Structure 1
Amino acid sequence: MDALKKAVGVLLPAMRISLALVMLSICLLFAAEMLGFMPDRSKFMLESRKQVSEALAIQFSTIAPDQDPHRIERMLNALIKRSPDILSAGIRLQNNQLIFQVNDHVKEWADYDSQKSTSTHLVVPIFRDSEKWGDIEFKFAPIAGESASDFLEHPSFKMAIFFLVVGFFIYLAFMLRTLKVLDPSAVIPERVNAAFDTLAEGVIIIDEHEQIVLVNDAFLKKIASPTSALLGKKASQLEWKSAEDSTTDVYLPWQTVLKTGKSSIGAHLKLTSPDNDTFKFVINASPILSGNDAPQGVLITLDDITEIEERNTKLQIMVSKLEESQAQVKEQNKELHFLATRDSLTGCLNRRAFNELFEKAFADALQNNLELCCIMVDIDHFKRVNDNYGHATGDVIIKLLAEILTNNTRKIDLVGRYGGEEFCVVLPGLSVDEAITVAERIRLRIKSESVARYETGPWVTASLGVASILDKPEDPSELNKFADEALYVAKESGRNRVVRWQLQNEFAEKVKTAPEPAEKNLPAPQPEAAKAADDCYHQ
């Protein structure tokens, strides 16, 4: 079937070209005849009849017609026998009387009413003593071509028919031979074509003019195009596009190979097939060199990576979605971790998370021989706040304390809600004196902030207990216990104060304050004392 299609694909163009050549030859033939380059048979016969009539006129003028009519008759009979194109003849007197005829001249001459000779009616005058005696009339057969039916007998028409029939087949045989010689596929032997057809990647071979002389089956099947549509066509005339879809000119590697004679490897191009399918190829181009090392063609291999690119695109989309999902999960985990480690009311560390971080900070301090302090904070008379102002106001006061603790500690410090209105603060790397300074600042801030924010109360204070890792606790819980005991002493000794834990339960106040005033008569905040505490502690 493929061989039949290929034969038909060659035969039909050859027939069209042959027919066109035949018609062109016929037109040239008629043009040559119109321009006078072809001999005209009708003109030749007309000239011949003219010469015959002139000879007869001279000859008959030497004969006395009235004395020797039989001689004239014999001459006419002999002339008609020797000239088959003379149909009839007759002698007519001046008075229009026909005195002699040959071959029913009356009938042949009946349609003639002129006194002048024509191509078919010839009148030869006969004179006697310089006077016209009569006429000899000859009826000739019509010259070919003078009538419409005679056109079929015209030599030019017969020549045209000859060209049309015989010339067509001669031209056809010539064109088939020519097309076979000029067929680009004939440049490559059939065994070479068969070898390239076994390759899985596409192969194109072009000549020095970029015309395709070979295409293997892998490439043809890929773009769903017949061989006849590609052979002889320039490779650059295919629908190539840049792999990056850029608007710049498309780089065709084989053009560079033809110019430089050097191979090109790894070029990426897109090709749109006649079915509007787009394929992406990795193209390698190698020169085919002549004897003088000049490129006379290019071997182009095309590796289809369309499916790989589609998979890579899908994979990139999946990776992007996965990264987005991971980011969402990470953010959700971060939120969950925050919720799991933070107190819902204050945002400070909850007790479990605080203890875990406390243990780590305690171990690091022991390992690196660093100082570590713990502060326990508790709001004074918090039950009165709940009783007098309600639990909602109590929650506000707890949040105020958490805010003050967070704002007056470092990022590396630990602030945790131990329970109710009680908080614990761990200060890595600070000495006990520095920790007391921080505690004092916190105490002053709580007192001043409550007075500044609430005009009618509640005005609250806080008691704080401070303990250090230098007090030699066995573990974090014992250090926390030391700070809690110091807090208990601060409560028992009048509240609104900071107490440092001492060995053998001998407590001493590091910061002395006046006895606790009544809640409604709290003194105004002392900015000088708060400023002094700020200067002693650098975050």
Structure 2
Amino acid sequence: MRISVTTRIVAGLVLLTLSTMLIACSLKMVPDQNRVHMQDRARYCESLAVSSSLFLTQGNIETLQSYLNAVVKNQSDISAAILRRKDGSIFIHAGKMFNLSGKPEEDLFNKVRIELLEQNQPWGQLEIYFPAEKQGLLSLWQMPMTRFILFVLACCSIGFYLFLRKNLQSLNPSKVIPGRVQEALDTLAGGLLILDTKEQIVLANKTIARVLKTAPEELQGRAMSQLPWVLPPEFETDDELPWRRALSEGTIHKGITLSLENNSTVADTFVVSCAPVLDDHDHLRGVLVSFEDVTELEKKKSELREMLHALHDSREEIQKKNDELQYLATRDPLTSCLNRRSFYEQLESLWEEAQQQQSTLGCVLLDIDHFKSINDNHGHSTGDLVLKGIGSTLMELVQEPGVLCRYGGEEFCILLPNHDIDETEQVAESYRQAVERLEFEDLKVTSSFGATAFSLGASSPQELLDEADKCLYVAKRGGRNQVARWDRVPVDTDFREPIAREPAPA
């Protein structure tokens, strides 16, 4: 809820009046009723003590008892009067007997004690009990000073409000501007504010007031900095706001984009222009601020950015799915090595590259020894475990640009760019030793290797594979678990002769 300017001024004047009265009280310029009351009590108690002493001197004990009873009965401010001897025993008691019931005596009574003398010697003492003043809102209200202050504040509030409401109309800038001019300002599509030299709003049209969800007169007197402005990233401090620069520099500033916070997802955005207001002597009197609402344009831009962001995310997700599909389409599902189709594509590419650059290309073909016996004796699950283990080991050993493929059921093929036959043989031997070191549930396996290279005369990729396959045949016939290379295969080898089946080792 917005508090009007008149109400705020009235509240300030009332607080000023209250402060003045409290300062006067602290300087003891206002009579202290409590102190006057206590002084009256003290004089009354002294008079009562003198009278009691006279009665005691004359020996009129009954008269003294009647006198004290009459005093307590007729004085509502006195609860009891007790005359005690020197030893503390009660000599006369006037008034009601009171039961403290465990409560401190100070909470119930204010006690006045007066010493009585007989021939300049202590005889006893007179105790007079007054009711203790109760603390609380009711006791505060009963104080005359409190009622006086509240009366003055109420009268000042009403009087100040009526006076200012009547006289501030002549100081209201909106009342000075003719009605037709104000209507013309209100019809402007953009917002308009006029600020004084202290950045306080002295005039606002309905357009900017509608954006701020208030009335134009409610904006008057409000500081421009109180509005929830969102500073652009390029602004380091509030001093770079255009109206502040216009006031400090006396220059015009145009086309600055600022936003106002609101409860929606997109803030109210304006293009702000400021111009200083000068009098006839070129003295700065204020600044004129205009606002062009571009909220809808910013909203469309925000929606477009969100769409582009969503499109980018969707494209990345599609690319990710395509990469996954590409991986699945080119890989063997059991060992994750390349399948034969992808392998042949790689082989063709590497073959052409070797021909063009006159480089070397090694090819290794390996076959797991006695794999059928493993499946027959230990089950196909163990056979799959062996294939996975060997495939994983080879994938760790074959570094780029090498290519690893599951060529057949228990066969793997490896391409080694820039490797001649000697290097290919060495690499194949390291693979053989790595396979030989593997253990699968107390089962050890071996593999046979055939190695060849592009430099040994193959005329096509398929012929290169055939050479590696024939080397593998020679390794099998030679006792398995060994590497055979193409340039050492006898020319008269009969590759049609079947390989003897040896029992798999336990």
Structure 1 length normalisation: TM-score?
0.53
User: 1:504, 1:445 → 2: CA distance?
Assistant: 24
1:436-473 Cα offsets, whole Å, 9 max, x none, are 101111122222324xx453x3x332121112122343
**Percentage identity across paired residues of the two chains:** 36
Distance 1:341 1:271, change over 3 A: closer
Q: What residue is the counterpart of 1:233 in the other structure?
A: 221
Count the aligned residue pairs.
335
Contact 1:243 1:280 in 2 (8 A): no
Q: Distance in 2 between matches of 1:337 and 1:348?
A: 13
Q: 1:179 and 1:380, CA in 2 relative to 1: closer, same or farther beyond 3 A?
A: closer
Relative to structure 1, the CA distance from residue 225 to residue 388 in structure 2 (aligned partners, 3 Å threshold; closer, same or farther) is: closer
Distance 1:237 1:438 in 2: 77
Which residue of 457, 461, 478 maps to 1:476? Answer: 461
- Structure 1 433/253 Cα, relative in aligned 2: closer, same or farther at 3 Å? same
Task: Tell me the C-alpha RMSD between the 2 structures.
Answer: 4.1
Q: Equivalences for 1:117-516 in 2 at 5 Å?
A: 179=169, 182-185=171-174, 199-230=188-219, 232-236=220-224, 239-243=227-231, 253-265=242-254, 266=256, 268-270=258-260, 279-450=268-439, 453-455=440-442, 457=443, 459-502=444-487, 506=491
Q: Is 1:416–1:423's contact at 8 Å kept on the other side of the alignment?
A: yes
Query: Post-superposition shift, 1:422?
Result: 0.9
- Deviation of 1:432 (Å): 1.6
Q: Secondary structure at the match of 2:338?
A: coil
Are 2:229 and 2:258, in contact at CA under 8 Å, matched by a contact in 1? no
Aligned-partner SS, 1:410: coil
**Distance (Å, rounded) in 1 between the aligned partners of 2:262 and 2:492:** 91
Give how far 1:241 is off: 3.6
Please give the alpha-carbon distance, in whole angstroms, between the structure 1 residues aligned to 2:480 and 2:338.
Answer: 25
8 Å CA contact retained: 2:370, 2:503: no
Cα 1:302–1:467 change in 2 (3 A) is: same
CA offsets 1:342-377 (integer angstroms, 9 cap, x no match): 111111111111112222222222233321111111
Maintained 8 Å contact 1:471/1:503: no
1:486–1:507 Cα contact (<8 Å) kept: no
Change (3 A) 1:475 1:267: same
Offset, 1:425? 0.4
* C-alpha distance in structure 1 between counterparts of 2:422 and 2:338, whole Å: 25
Whether the aligned pair in 2 keeps the contact of 1:202 and 1:301 (CA below 8 Å) is yes
Distance 2:339 2:300 in 1: 49
Q: Is the 8 A contact 1:264 1:284 kept in 2?
A: yes
Q: In 2, Cα distance between the equivalents of 1:249 and 1:410?
A: 57
User: Matched residues in 2 for 1:498 and 1:337: separation?
Assistant: 34
CA distance in 1, matches of 2:478, 2:225: 100
Amino acid paired to 2:291: L
Change (3 A) 1:489 1:271: closer
TM-score (norm 2): 0.56
Q: What residue ranges of structure 2 are gaps of 5+ in the alignment?
A: 1-5, 7-162, 494-499
- Please state how far the C-alpha of 1:212 moved relative to its aligned partner: 4.0
SS at match of 2:438: helix
